[in-house]
Amino acid sequence: MFQAILITKDDSGYQAGLQRLDESQLPAGDVLVRVSHSTLNYKDGLAITGKAPVVRQFPMVPGIDLVGQVEHSEHAGYQKGDWVLLNGWGVGEAHWGGLAQMARLKGEWLIPLPAGLTPQQAMSIGTAGYTAMLCVMALERHGLQPGDGEIAVTGAAGGVGSVAIAILAKLGYRVVAVTGRTEDAAYLQSLGAAEVLPRAQFSAPGKPLAKERWAGAVDVVGSHTLANLCATTRYGGVVTACGLAAGMDLPATVAPFILRGVTLAGIDSVMRPRADRIAAWDRLARDLDLDKLATISQELSLSQVIPLAAELLQGRIRGRIVVDVNR
């Protein structure tokens, strides 16, 4: 028997609760993992509260991240005792996820826990940090270098934004944090932000083209914020888009792209090929100041997750939430 958060939907409605389950209830997979830590992400908050149709089948254990030790494996790449981690692949949406003490998964979804990272550190990074690194790698792939100019990071006090700031600052970029919570300015500056701007400057409808400022950007907000970033990005700059906290719409014109040669790079972390995942996590172990993780993250027990999910969706949670599923 093991503890898990289980989401159900029946005639009595949509419910999420902490329950004791039997190993035989786990879905099919060729690797059984004894979970050490998971996380609470925006998508998990949507799943737990039912605020959006994230869960595609019921019952469901949420949790798009997990790290743990292999208990049993029928996959050639893993054996009992190996430490592994997982991000995405529809886990927590279509396949039982990490907010549980046990998980049965497909071995192809897993990667080894990188050397130099503890399980707790890996989940302090989690999907948010892994996505942030994919954004940084995309900026680099398009030729961006620290001397090219300022990088804007929106949703700066959230998980993706916090890790992106820390990575970019360590790599030598001048980072400008854009946030709806300017009271977190000292926190953002401690991560490496050189300047903090209120999101209100970006969230209203703007001009198709505005004064050039950004060499690049990491955006998790979407909607008018993303449109305004594109409109103010310098000639040849790169904007990475990985989120939709303000909506799925993009009320923009083609002007930045055809008159300034701006690149809008979409970042998917859910179905990313294994090689890209390993490369991103190796970079995280090397290019993220791990000492900053204590500032970025807070740790909860499994029983504290459900009450906090709604607060996360309301933008009241700073940084990363790590869940010790055995506490």
| Shared domain check, 132 and 248 | yes
| Shared domain check, 192 and 298 | no
| Shared domain check, 103 and 204 | no
**Is residue 64 in a domain?**
yes
Q: What is the CATH number of the domain that holds 235?
A: 3.40.50.720
**Is residue 119 in a domain?**
no
Task: Tell me which residues of the chain have a pLDDT lower than 50.
Answer: none
| Shared domain check, 150 and 107 | no
Q: Could you identify the residue written with the tokens 């014109």?
A: 253
pLDDT at residue 245, as a whole number: 87
pLDDT at residue 319, as a whole number: 85
| Shared domain check, 99 and 42 | yes
| Shared domain check, 145 and 39 | no
pLDDT at residue 287, as a whole number: 94
| Shared domain check, 180 and 158 | yes
**Is residue 118 in a domain?**
no
* Domain range enclosing 154: 127-266
| Shared domain check, 249 and 319 | no
pLDDT at residue 12, as a whole number: 87
**Is residue 18 in a domain?**
yes
| Shared domain check, 144 and 233 | yes
Residue pLDDT, tens place only, 71-127: 999 999 999 999 999 999 999 999 999 999 999 999 999 999 999 999 999 999 999
Q: What is the CATH number of the domain that holds 14?
A: 3.90.180.10
pLDDT at residue 236, as a whole number: 98
**Is residue 121 in a domain?**
no
| Shared domain check, 212 and 175 | yes
Number of domains in the chain: 2
Angle between helices 159-170 and 274-287 (to 10 degrees): 60
- pTM, two decimal places: 0.93
| Shared domain check, 307 and 232 | no
**Is residue 280 in a domain?**
no
**Is residue 80 in a domain?**
yes
pLDDT at residue 318, as a whole number: 84
Average pLDDT over the chain reads: 96
C-alpha span between 122 and 39 (Å, rounded):
10
**Is residue 43 in a domain?**
yes
pLDDT at residue 314, as a whole number: 84
pLDDT at residue 52, as a whole number: 85
| Shared domain check, 93 and 214 | no
